[in-house]
Amino acid sequence: MKKFYLSLFVFSAALSSLGQQDPQFTMWMFDRLSFNPAAAGMDKMHQVQAFHRDQWDGFERDPKTYLFNYNGYANVAGRTVGIGASFMTEVLGQEQNKFARLSASFHQPIGDNFLSGGVQVGLLSKSLGNSWIAIDPTDPNIPINGVSQGGFDMAAGLMFYNPNKYYAGVSATHLPATALSDLGFASARHIYVMGGYNYELPNGLVLRSNALIKTDMKASPAIDINANVLWNNQLWGGLAFRPGDALAPMLGFQMDLNTIQKGLMTYEHGFKVGYSYDITLSEIRNYSAGSHELFLTYQFNIGKTPVRRISGDPRQL
């Protein structure tokens, strides 16, 4: 019975304008690139990142999301240019969604702050299987054979930020509203508004707060707010809340590793890891044991070691 309800739910979501078209992540603040291409290069680090989300654990075919990101930057004529690449697979019962995206952004200093604008282009694809369990197998809306189709996708965004202090951004995804006629599906344009602020607290603590609002301009906006406390720039824990959906405790660990010097090159690197558990608040809690999410980030910088000038004048030795 759970299998039937999940298959019916997922197929209905695939045909709705506000379905699972974009990935849902509780720890989205560690992956702003997926929602706003202007975030590429914001951290002035090269980052390789992997996310895994197991949603509504307990269903026979519970939704699973796999995301891989690269987020980095380059200095061009004294300006920061952000670059990014994202690959995502989302499995929801009989439905599979895939995205492949490239992002680019330009960062303009404004005093101690920065204004960045970014664009994202890529491909999206959707496929539906043929192992449906339905009350009426003759329903023409239920595919008899597996079917898949893909198309072009694009996004754009703006971000205003002060590194490691605050940020505010707005973006729009699925700008072409690509239609996949073979599936009777059209992607809906989504608007995202995000922001965050880091508060310095005593005893080496930092309170990091974030908020995300998303809408397709048709249904009611979805809101995600969260806060976590970072201790000694290493250990953090916090709580996320999505009204009507989930309450999620989360924790993580981050560390800057030893700097490596080879000749005239300096290699800085470190990592971040985080875990969250969604306590479902909707009626789905009667069938699900909640949702699990895990991410791992490796970040690095490679730069030239400053050259020390040694004077040949014995009076300056």
Tell me the CATH number at 57.
Answer: 2.40.160.40
Which pLDDT score, from 0 to 100, does residue 14 have?
36
Please write the tens of the pLDDT for every residue from 164-187: 899 999 999 999 988 888 777 888
Average pLDDT over residues 189-197: 96
Domain total of the chain: 1
Residue-level pLDDT at 6: 42
More confident residue, 21 or 87: 87
Q: In this structure, is residue 311 part of a structural domain? A: no
List the domain range (segments joined by +) for residue 295: 2-139+148-305
| pTM for the whole structure | 0.83
pLDDT tens-digit readout, 6-33: 444 443 333 333 344 677 899 999 999 9
The reply to whether 313 falls in a domain is no
Question: Does residue 166 fall inside a structural domain?
Answer: yes
Which is it for strands 166-173 and 64-76: parallel, antiparallel or unpaired? unpaired
pLDDT of residue 2: 41
| pLDDT tens-digit map of 89-104 | 998 878 889 999 999 9
Tell me if 310 is assigned to some domain: no
Does any domain span residue 46? yes
166 versus 315: the higher-pLDDT residue is 166
Q: How confident is the model at residue 305 (pLDDT cuts 50, 70, 90)?
A: low
